[in-house]
């Protein structure tokens, strides 16, 4: 049987692009993770500001263009 690592032993990588309505609900349950990396794909809303203000422990990688999901995840995985 495959054993799942505890959240505190896990690095979580996620993408953000103009997700102001959902980003806090996404990150809140993950706060016990060893590390949270958010790749911001050049958001134009205030979602990045919310992450910085409400989740100071989150590591942010901000791109200067919308690289898409695959490339964005790769940025985060390489950073992890």
What is the pLDDT averaged over residues 23-44?
96
> CA-CA distance, 57 to 37, in Å (whole number)?
9
Give the chain's mean pLDDT: 93
Largest CA distance in the chain: 44
Residue 76, helix vs strand vs coil: helix
Q: What is the pLDDT of residue 55?
A: 97
Q: What is the pLDDT of residue 58?
A: 97
pLDDT tens digit sequence for 37-48 = 999 999 999 999
* Residue 28 CB coordination number (10 Å): 10
Domain ranges of the chain: 7-79
> CA-CA distance, 17 to 54, in Å (whole number)?
17
What is the pLDDT averaged over residues 51-62?
96
**Superfamily holding 7-79:** Spore Coat Polysaccharide Biosynthesis Protein SpsA; Chain A (3.90.550.10)
Per DSSP bridges, beta strands 11-16 and 35-40 are parallel
How sure is the predictor about 4, in pLDDT bands with cuts at 50, 70 and 90? confident
What is the pLDDT averaged over residues 20-24?
95
């Amino acid at each position: 049987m495959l054993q799942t690592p505890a959240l505190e032993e896990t690095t979580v990588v996620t993408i953000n692009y103009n997700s102001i309505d959902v980003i806090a609900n996404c990150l809140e349950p993950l706060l016990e993770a060893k590390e949270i990396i958010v790749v911001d794909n050049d958001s134009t809303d205030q979602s990045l500001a919310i992450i910085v203000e409400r989740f100071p422990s989150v590591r942010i990688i901000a791109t200067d263009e919308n690289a898409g999901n695959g490339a964005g995840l790769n940025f985060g995985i390489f950073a992890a």
